[in-house]
Amino acid sequence: MSILEKIADIEAEMARTQRNKATMGHLGILKARLAKLRRELITPKGGGGGTGEGFDVAKTGDARIGFVGFPSVGKSTLLSNLAG
pLDDT in tens, 41-78: 888 676 666 667 777 777 787 878 888 889 989 999 98
Domain contains 20:
yes
By residue range, what is the domain housing residue 12? 3-42
Domain contains 69:
no
Number of domains in the chain: 1
Domain contains 15:
yes
Domain contains 76:
no
Distance CA 82, CA 84 (A): 5
The model carries a pTM of 0.52
Domain contains 73:
no
17 contacts 26 by C-beta, under 8 angstroms:
yes
